[in-house]
Structure 1
Amino acid sequence: MASKLLNIALAVFAIVLPAVAMATEFTVGDDQGWTINFDYEAWAKDKVFRVGDELVFKYTAGRHNVFKVNGTVFTNCTIPPPNEALTTGNDVITLATPGRKWYICGVNDHCANYGQKLAITVLEEWASPAPAPSPSTTTAPAPSSAYGISVSGH
């Protein structure tokens, strides 16, 4: 009985843990944060972004902001309406869908003249592991008594 419960617990753990452990939190710009004169293209180049991951934009509130924009707005550094900006200085964006994503700073000319813009590609989330077989279909080998050791269920 105890081994059956252990198998069930391990199966649940194996299914739940990867979903929790797979999400990654990316601090945009690492130690530099969200700032001007930083190469965000180089920063993002070797990273793999997946659905469920989080982008954290850290900056001094009032000095910068974050807009999620489309590709045209990104290319042209067109500043959206101020009420669409994230402005806390610790803005967390959960990547909810796969595809290309664009972010800019809308303060002054930070996007156009100082490169404060980020473009990433978000991939599908990690595939879920195959479900574990149900305990009723799993049979464990009978305990061996080849060495004179008795195994009991108590």
Structure 2
Amino acid sequence: MSFTLVAAFDENRLIGANNNLPWYLPADLKIFKQNTLNKPILMGRKTCESLKKPLPKRTNWVLTRQPDYHREGFRIIHDWRLLLGDKEVMVIGGAKIFELLLPQADKMIITHINATFSGDTYFPEIFWSEWQITNQEVYPISENNPHHAFSVVTYHRI
């Protein structure tokens, strides 16, 4: 079993503002979908509550400390170790879940947005010496990506 962290952040590791994404990048949303489709995804309660409904064609796991938490279409757990039987779990946030599972992760797929935004939620500090780039795709500003340049980088733990 392995954990893959899937996140997008700006130049300051910002990932959120008021429980939403601080940017709109349709091209990155498409990449997120490609990377998570037909795989189990794990999120925290706040990330769950930011979604209108479960993400389709994925098992939507929610890790929370709230003992009576329930939301239609989501599977609730209180201990991430309960997912040990799954082959690869895609961890999609938020900050507390990333912080909890970064030490357990074997892989990260990070969208680095070439901009800075205002917000209140950050990805935890990464010790880059523990990671190796295994793939990188650059998305400059273009007709298909008019908002912000970004790159999607896959890292594997060394």
TM-score range, shorter chain: under 0.3
TM-score by length of 1: 0.24
* Highest RCO, 1 vs 2 (Cα 8 Å, sep ≥ 6): 2
Largest Rg, 1 or 2: 1
More strand by share: 2
Higher helix share goes to which structure? 1
